[in-house]
């Protein structure tokens, strides 16, 4: 799985908004978001347009304006952010996994693609931006992280 820069930047920026929400510090400007995580400002503006269309963030105008979370931080999943900026969690040649169909020896391959999507959902949709901010990750995510080879490249 390739996690795009868009997803990485969006999650990092959303963590800043979640932190601001937890502290009650109000809206955060794109400039501040870009500076805090060393993100490209123009790219971040495009990402926030997607997040705004998905109602994950709200913009506030004015001298003290900026962005705030569009929903409570415990109700925004990492999967929501991923889909907002990059589309579906899993695609196979532009198709959803359940839409694929193969002949012969590859007949059962769609089942594997659907299982891959389900595993992504299990991790990304069950982990809120608040879970990530506090490090209090869901049990299943912690189990996966504690697997002997979880942190090794293969």
CATH number at residue 94: 1.10.10.10
**CA–CA dist 82, 8 (Å, integer):** 9
**CA–CA dist 22, 16 (Å, integer):** 10
Range of the domain at 110: 5-146
**CA–CA dist 13, 137 (Å, integer):** 19
The mean of the pLDDT values for the chain is 93
Helix (H, G, I), strand (E, B) or coil at 95: strand
pLDDT in tens, 36-65: 999 999 999 999 999 999 999 999 887 778
pLDDT in tens, 125-148: 999 999 999 999 999 999 999 999
Rg of the chain over all Cα atoms, to the nearest angstrom: 18
Q: Residues of the chain with pLDDT > 70: what percent? A: 100
Q: Note whether residue 152 is domain-resident.
A: no
pTM, two decimals, is 0.90
Q: Note whether residue 151 is domain-resident.
A: no
Q: How many CA atoms lie within 13 A of 138 on its CB side?
A: 15
**CA–CA dist 45, 59 (Å, integer):** 12
Q: Note whether residue 100 is domain-resident.
A: yes
Q: Note whether residue 154 is domain-resident.
A: no
Q: Note whether residue 104 is domain-resident.
A: yes
Q: How far is CA 132 from the centre of its chain?
A: 10
**Domain total of the chain:** 1
Residue 67, pLDDT > 90, answer: yes
**CA angle (22, 16, 117) in 5-degree steps:** 105
């Amino acid at each position: 799985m390739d996690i795009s820069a868009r997803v990485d930047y969006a999650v990092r920026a959303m963590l800043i908004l979640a932190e601001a929400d937890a502290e009650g510090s109000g809206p955060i400007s794109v400039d501040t978001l870009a500076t805090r995580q060393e993100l490209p400002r123009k790219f971040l503006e495009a990402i926030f347009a997607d997040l705004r269309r998905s109602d994950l963030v709200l913009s506030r105008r004015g001298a003290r304006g900026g962005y705030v979370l569009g929903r409570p931080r415990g109700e925004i999943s990492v999967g929501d952010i991923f889909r907002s900026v990059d589309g579906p969690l899993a695609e196979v040649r532009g198709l959803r996994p359940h839409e694929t169909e193969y002949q012969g020896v590859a007949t059962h391959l769609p089942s594997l693609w659907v299982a891959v999507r389900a595993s992504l959902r299990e991790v990304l949709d069950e982990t809120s931006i608040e879970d990530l901010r506090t490090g209090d990750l869901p049990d299943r995510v912690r189990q996966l992280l504690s697997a002997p080879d979880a942190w090794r490249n293969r």
